[in-house]
Amino acid sequence: MSLLGEPELTEDGEFVINIGPQHPSTHGVLHLKVWLDGETIKKVQPHLGYIHRSIEKMSESLSYRNFIFATSRMDYLSAHINNEACALTVEKGLGIEAPPRAQAIRILMAELTRLSSHQLWWGCMGLDLGAVSPFFYGFRERESIMEVMEETCGARLTQNYMVPGGIMYDIHPNFQNRVKNVLKQIKENFKEYDDLLTGNVIFEGRTKGVGYLSPEDAISYGCTGPTARGSGVSCDVRKWFPYDGYDKLQFNEILETGGDCYARYMVRMAEMRQSVRIIEQMIDNIPEGDFQTKTKAVLKLPKGEFYQRVETARGELGVYIVSDGAASPYRIKYRSPNFSNLSALEHMAKGAKIGDLVAIMATIDLVIPDVDR
Amino acid sequence: MFIKDYIGTIYKSTVSLLKGMKLTGYYFTHPKKILTEEYPDNRATLKMADRFRGEVVMPHDDNNEHRCTGCQACEIACPNGTIKIITKQELQADGKKKKAIDAFVYHLELCTMCNLCVVACPSDAIVMAQTFEHSVYDKRQLKKTLNKPGSKIMEGVE
């Protein structure tokens, strides 16, 4: 290996290059070692660990109320849903349930988070494929959602609004009006999204038939979320294992059968519309009552193992807590969606061109801090 | 057949290109719809949301009195060790000794603004301030003592 001199060639005459860890299209500190034959990808090897903060180990020394804040830093684009997963697991262990008002607010916040996450993905996807303007259009509506979050939760990205037993404090009086305005704006903007990217011939040429993932492979690699649903695998946790009252809501699980980048793109675009549909059902029907159930000052889970899964914007997040009866968890494991989705990258990228690798990575929608934790 | 497809592709490309150009052109000619916040030029008018979590502060009233009893609930609730409370024994007017805070040390550089200390406080002694310009030239300036010099606990706060 020489850094400055001759390029590294393998015995078969393959050319090895490193993409990342500091590369704009890897969306973070992901390091991809790529073996190339000309411009065709022979092999991709993701190298992880550049942003490992040992959140799981750190949580073992924190109490059940305190460890939740760190999960905002895992998948920072769906921080809310991560916090919800932790709160739900602790509630499962304690044998309590959040009051109806808290559940409704949790769903509203989770769907707003999903909307903002998908909008950021949409902008970044355009940017990755060479179109700069979608980035600004995607961020514009996202900003209005961030303002709603700021007003009610007190923070824009790392909200930490969930506590075991409900939510930290009640919604802001402006919340409902503001969300309605945001929804009105977003529904108008969906048309703009379609005008800019969806129907564009260059975009279709870059994504259609690129990065095919068969349903069998999606299952065997453990892909979840829009990545698997683009291949026709039904895996929406909100439908299969409803939590926080998702079973009372009317929404569709989006499935596409294409399995390519375009199918994954269409799944996310349709999911945004479903999120809007869910928020519209909930926004005027937030039940009155408490926003938090009374819990003890020091939470202690009974001895045992507890698992709870939720659907984040990227797939299925599982929180697994082993408790030995003490005030802090004995072991915590997060089953993060991005790690499993990244493992399918090599399968998808094999045989594709190097420009397509960027398109494939954009449609998996990677968030690297969630891969490393 | 090939020619027909070829011309069809060119037509479709042109239409989709113009569609996108129409949208970007609209925003180019309608700058009123631009939503950029012109920070720091708008510093005078910029107001953060009421609940925005900037830093932990301890409000004092006009008599230089705060509400902190030194119970250390916030210190226990903090996940990062941001808060350190140093207590002392204070002589009361009736001759009895009572626990009071000597210094409420707050490390802004460790704080993640998770709000758990504010929620944990039983006497509402600390709140979140809406400030956000925290940059300093020296790390030591981030270590703050929240109770003002010479301050004491408010009457009736237990």
Would you list which residues of chain B are within 8 Å, Cβ to Cβ, of chain A? 9, 12-13, 16-17, 19-20, 22-24, 35, 48-53, 77-79, 112-116, 119, 128
Mean pLDDT of A39-57: 86
Identify whether A3 is part of a domain. Answer: no
Q: Which residues of B touch A70 (CB under 8 A)?
A: 79
pLDDT for A349 equals 86
Averaged pLDDT for residues B121-141: 87
Average of per-residue pLDDT across B101-105: 84
Mean pLDDT to the nearest integer, B140-148:
85
Are the beta carbons of B12 and A163 separated by less than 8 Å? no
Mind telling me how many Å the CA of A213 is from chain B's nearest CA? 27
When pLDDT is averaged across residues B89-93 and rounded to a whole number, the result is 75
Residue-wise pLDDT tens digits, A328-365? 889 899 988 888 888 888 888 888 888 888 888 888 88
Taking an 8 Å cut-off on Cβ atoms, the answer to whether A67 and B128 are in contact is no
Q: Do B16 and A201 touch (CB under 8 A)?
A: yes
Q: For position A9, what pLDDT does the model report?
A: 67
Q: Within a domain: residue A11?
A: no
Query: Cβ contacts (< 8 Å) between A208 and chain B: which residues?
Result: none
Sheet order of strands, A316-323 included: A304-311, A316-323, A331-335
Please give the pLDDT value at position A5: 54
Cβ within 8 Å of residue A39, ≥6 positions away: A353, A354
Rounded average pLDDT over B8-35: 80
Window 52-81 of A: residues touching B by CB (8 A cutoff) are: 62, 65-67, 69-70
Q: Are B66 and B147 in contact (CB under 8 A)?
A: yes
Mean pLDDT estimate for chain A: 85
- The DSSP annotation for A263-297 comes to HHHHHHHHHHHHHHHHHHHHHT-PPPS-SB----S
Q: Is the pLDDT of residue A1 over 60?
A: no
Contact A160 B116 (CB under 8 A): yes
More confident: A46 or A20: A46
Q: Can you tell me which residue has the tokens 């506590």? A: A163
Residue type present at position A127 = L
Domain count, chain A: 1
Nearest-Cα distance to chain A for B13, in Å, is: 5
Nearest CA in chain A to B34: A140
Residues of chain B neighbouring A151 (CB-CB closer than 8 A)? 49-51
- Give chain B positions within 8 Å (CB) of A328: none
CATH code of the domain covering residue A266: 1.10.645.10
Q: For residue A367, name the pLDDT band (cuts at 50, 70, 90).
A: confident
Q: Which of the four pLDDT bands, split at 50, 70 and 90, describes residue A77?
A: confident
* Cross-chain Cβ contact B116/A201 below 8 Å: no
Largest distance between two CA atoms of chain A: 70
Searching chain B, which residue's CA lies closest to the CA of residue A65?
B77
| Strand, coil or helix: A303 | coil
Residues of chain B contacting A66 with CB distance shorter than 8 Å? 77-79, 116
Enumerate the residues of chain A whose CB falls inside 8 A of the CB of residue B78.
66
pLDDT at A7: 58
Nearest CA of chain A to the CA of B72: how many Å?
A: 14
Shortest alpha-carbon distance between residue A201 and chain B (Å): 5
Q: What is the share, in percent, of chain A residues with pLDDT greater than 90?
A: 1
A-chain CB neighbours of B114 within 8 Å are: 69, 158, 160
Terminal Cα distance for chain A, rounded: 30
ipTM: 0.80
Give B36 to chain A, closest Cα distance, Å. 9
Considering only CB atoms, which chain B residues are within 8 Å of A147? 49
Backbone angles phi, psi at A32, to 5 degrees: -110, 125
Q: Is A142 a domain residue?
A: yes
For residues A65-90, average pLDDT: 88
Tokens, residue A105: 């607010």
Q: Is the pLDDT of residue A208 over 60?
A: yes
Q: How confident is the model at residue B33 (pLDDT cuts 50, 70, 90)?
A: low
CA distances (Å), A151 to each of A133, A148, A154, A172, B52, in order? 28, 5, 6, 7, 7
| Mean pLDDT, chain B, integer | 83
Q: Nearest C-alpha of chain B: how many angstroms from A42?
A: 32
What residues of chain B lie within 8 A of the CB of A201, using their CB? 9, 12-13, 16-17
Calculate the CA dihedral of residues A208, A38, A349, A357 and round it to 10 degrees: -70
Which of B13, B30, B51 should we substitute to test contact with A (largest number of A Cβ atoms within 10 Å)?
A: B51
* A141, closest residue in chain B (CA to CA): B35
A6-10, A70-74, B141-145: least confidently modelled range: A6-10
B50 residue type, one letter: D
pLDDT at A3: 55
Contact between chains at A158 and B112 (C-beta distance less than 8 A): yes
> B22 and A195: CB-CB below 8 Å?
yes
The pLDDT, as a whole number, for residue B42 is: 83
Please tell me which of the candidates A133, A154, A192 has its beta carbon nearest to residue B51: A154
**Using CB atoms, which residue from A158, A168, A195 is nearest to B20?**
A195
Q: Are A89 and A308 in contact (CB under 8 A)?
A: yes
User: Is residue B96 over pLDDT 80?
Assistant: no
Assigned domain for A175 exists: yes
Least confident of A19-33, A257-271, B5-19: A19-33
Kindly tell me if the per-residue pLDDT of A216 is higher than 80: yes
Identify the band that residue A210 occupies on the pLDDT scale cut at 50, 70 and 90: confident
The percent of residues in chain A predicted with pLDDT above 70, rounded, is: 97
Distance (Å) from the alpha carbon of A44 to chain B's nearest alpha carbon: 33
Residue A122 has pLDDT above 80, yes or no: yes
Cα A275 to chain center, whole Å?
14
The residues, ordered by sequence, that sit 6+ positions from A65 with a Cβ below 8 Å of its Cβ are: A163, A164, A299, B77, B116
Which member of B52, B112, B116 has the closest CB to residue A65? B116
| Domain span including residue A345 | 52-372
Contact B53 A152 (CB under 8 A): no
- CB-CB neighbors (< 8 A) of B17 in chain A: 200-201
Query: What integer is the mean pLDDT of A3-8?
Result: 57
CA dist A13 → A19, A35, A42, A252, A351 (Å): 19, 10, 11, 49, 16
3-state helix vs strand vs coil in chain B, percent to 5? 30, 20, 50
Band of the pLDDT at B34, cuts 50, 70, 90? low
B132: tokens are: 């956000």
pLDDT-derived band at B135, boundaries 50, 70, 90: confident
pLDDT confidence of A175, banded at 50, 70, 90? confident
